[in-house]
Amino acid sequence: MVGTGWVALMGHRKTGRRVRLEAHATGVIDRRVGVLFAVFLGLFLALAARATWLTTVRAGTLREQARSQHDSKVVEPGLRGPILDRRGRQLAVSEEAVTVYANPFLIERPAATAARLAPLVGLPEERILALISDRSRGFVYIRRKLPPEVGERLRKLALEGVGTLVEPRRVYPGGALATQVVGAVGTDGYGLFGLEQAADRLLRGRDGERRVVRDALGRPLRTITVRQPRPGRPLRLTIDAVLQRHVEGVLAATAERYRARGASAVVVDPRDGAVLALASWPSAAPDRSLELGPDVRRNRAVEDAYEPGSTFKPFTVAAALSDRVISPLASFDLPPTIRVADRVIGEAHPRGWERMSVADILARSSNVGTVTIGLELGARRFARWVDRFGFGRPTGIGLPGESPGIVPRLCDYSGSSMGNLPIGQGLAVTPLQLVAAYTALADHGVLHEPYLIAGQRRPGKRVLRRSVADTVARMLEGVVGPNGTGAEAQIPGYRIAGKTGTSQKPDPLTGTYSKTRYVASFVGFAPVGDPRLLVLVAVDEPQGEIYGGVVAAPAFEQIVSFALPYLGVPPS
């Protein structure tokens, strides 16, 4: 019994230990399962949260990124507006051109592709091969703005990885005609100088946009038009292309004959200030002018200020007549020279004592006589008239780089200023400023600011009494008479008024006037009484001859003798 009980007790103890061991093992397993469940639950929740974030917060961005991998935006520039002359002739116009591009990633045989492209686009094989050999690049330009027929030939070749775009190309039908006025545009389609720059916002159209949907290899599947391009506005000028070409020819021949450094010419209608021709030499076609540098692009008639010399003298006389300091019939006993403070002024051609009328002073371009009249007028009134004629500020022609000229303030006058200012020394003007001031003498006392764009005429401003302007105009007829300095400007059958100018250029090294560097000029209008043309010719540093009456007056005659019949102006 006892043994049996002990055995039973021992069996019961073993059974209890096994139960406890099994229970312990079960607890451990349960805890491990719980941990694993918690881990999996955490991962599930994290993934669920990530998925929710991707489908809500990031959905738009991801869609955009996915689209961008298969879509591309193509900008279609709006054609630039044309620039036209006064009669509608094209000076600048845009046409569709072809731009060749490549996707190097899609080109399996770069050398063969380069060999077939080279003769088509006019580039060396080596240069094309260098562009298309780097397969990490997705887009490269081969050559831009080629004639449309290049695109047709390229499409027939069907070269893998090579395509074309349509871009506008600026064309100048007149070549070098009015280059400094019209200007040019760069490869990006923006104006670089001239009216192309000044009126860039008006001329430029609104770009259009297309979206090209591509497959995974970048091949186009379909095209969606987002926005149609809109062309720029046309710009009609007051320039007459036929007259402009004639003026440029005369100017070039004159400058080359006298081996000049440069030259300019301005032709306006003095009745309203419309610019009919505006020429500078040297010149070149717009594309060539970009290569040849700023000297060719510079519009000398607008940007270059020079001392006007004797062409300024009529304004000194007009001011004195207006303020009744002198009368039209006045005469002066003039010495060979005149001293003003520390300055002694003489004549271009020495003479003795002589009596001259006001008309004689202008006809013979007397320095001593003009200074005498200027001293009668006085510095204060003289300065007021200089301002009234518009000197010292831009004309507002609307071309880039216009110079305001250089006019000293009254407070900066020295004791000798009235010895040089009345004869056009000590101040600087542009050819365009001088022409604007001369409109007051030509159009019976009304000054007209010059304008280039049709429809932008500004009201004239009366600066002189009609009687004074007409008196000075008649005096200027004597300049082109047999005894005047501008006899070479005579045109049979027409009444011509004008003034010669031979101005010394300051020498920056010595601070004095050069004895070898001059500007020879002539400005005049016709027919007197009912003027239709006002013309200025200025030749910078002519060689061999220096006088305006010899160098510039014949050029004036050649321009006006063509222009008057061309414009239908009958003889006087």
pLDDT in tens, 515-552: 899 999 999 999 999 999 999 999 999 999 999 999 99
Pick the last residue of a domain from 174, 205, 236: 236
Please tell me whether residues 506 and 558 are part of one structural domain. Answer: yes
- Residue 32 domain flag: no
- Residue 46 domain flag: no
Q: The dihedral of CA 280, 286, 292, 297: what is its sign?
A: positive
Better-predicted residue by pLDDT, 424 or 100: 424
- Residue 68 domain flag: no
> For position 153, what pLDDT does the model report?
85
> For position 43, what pLDDT does the model report?
66
Tell me which of 12-16, 188-192, 279-283, 538-542 is least confident.
12-16
With a CB cutoff of 8 Å and minimum separation 6, the contacts of 155 are: 164
Pick the last residue of a domain from 191, 215, 236: 236
- Residue 290 domain flag: yes
- Residue 24 domain flag: no
- Residue 483 domain flag: yes
> For position 134, what pLDDT does the model report?
77
Looking at the predicted structure, is the pLDDT value of residue 33 above 60?
A: no
- Tokens 């006087």 correspond to 572
> For position 1, what pLDDT does the model report?
44
pLDDT in tens, 198-253: 999 999 988 888 787 777 666 667 778 888 888 899 999 999 999 999 999 999 99
Peptide bond into 314 cis (omega under 30): no
Place 40 in a pLDDT band, splitting at 50, 70 and 90: low
Please tell me whether residues 315 and 367 are part of one structural domain. Answer: yes
Please tell me whether residues 194 and 266 are part of one structural domain. Answer: no
pLDDT in tens, 121-161: 888 888 888 888 877 776 888 888 888 888 888 888 878 88
> For position 223, what pLDDT does the model report?
76
Q: Residue 93, Cβ neighbours under 10 Å: how many?
A: 18
> For position 31, what pLDDT does the model report?
63
- Residue 366 domain flag: yes
> For position 39, what pLDDT does the model report?
57
Side chain identity at 525, as an amino acid letter?
A: F
Tell me which of 295-299, 323-327, 547-551, 562-566 is least confident.
295-299
Pairing of strands 262-269, 71-76: unpaired
Q: Does residue 392 contact residue 312 with C-beta atoms inside 8 Å?
A: no
Please tell me whether residues 338 and 216 are part of one structural domain. Answer: no
> For position 551, what pLDDT does the model report?
98
> For position 122, what pLDDT does the model report?
86
Report d(CA 289, CA 275) in Å as an integer. 23
- Residue 17 domain flag: no
Looking at the predicted structure, is the pLDDT value of residue 361 above 60?
A: yes
Please tell me whether residues 223 and 366 are part of one structural domain. Answer: no
Please tell me whether residues 482 and 536 are part of one structural domain. Answer: yes
> For position 141, what pLDDT does the model report?
87
Report d(CA 549, CA 328) in Å as an integer. 25
Average model confidence (pLDDT) for the chain? 87
Pick the last residue of a domain from 236, 271, 306: 236
Better-predicted residue by pLDDT, 48 or 317: 317
Please tell me whether residues 215 and 263 are part of one structural domain. Answer: no
Please tell me whether residues 250 and 207 are part of one structural domain. Answer: no
pLDDT in tens, 321-344: 999 999 999 999 999 999 999 999
Please tell me whether residues 156 and 248 are part of one structural domain. Answer: no
Average pLDDT of the segment spanning 260-285:
97
Question: What domain range includes position 189?
Answer: 77-236
> What are the DSSP E strand ranges found in 318-443?
331-334, 338-340, 343-345, 354-357
> For position 324, what pLDDT does the model report?
97
Tell me which of 192-196, 253-257, 506-510 is least confident.
506-510
Please tell me whether residues 481 and 365 are part of one structural domain. Answer: yes
Side chain identity at 148, as an amino acid letter?
A: P
Q: How many domains does the chain have?
A: 2
Q: Take residue 66 and report the two structure tokens written for it.
A: 């996915």
CATH for 548 = 3.40.710.10
Q: Does residue 548 contact residue 502 with C-beta atoms inside 8 Å?
A: yes
Please tell me whether residues 289 and 412 are part of one structural domain. Answer: yes
Peptide bond into 282 cis (omega under 30): yes
> For position 10, what pLDDT does the model report?
46
Most confidently modeled of 37-51, 179-193, 262-276, 503-517? Answer: 262-276
Please tell me whether residues 196 and 307 are part of one structural domain. Answer: no
Report d(CA 434, CA 552) in Å as an integer. 15
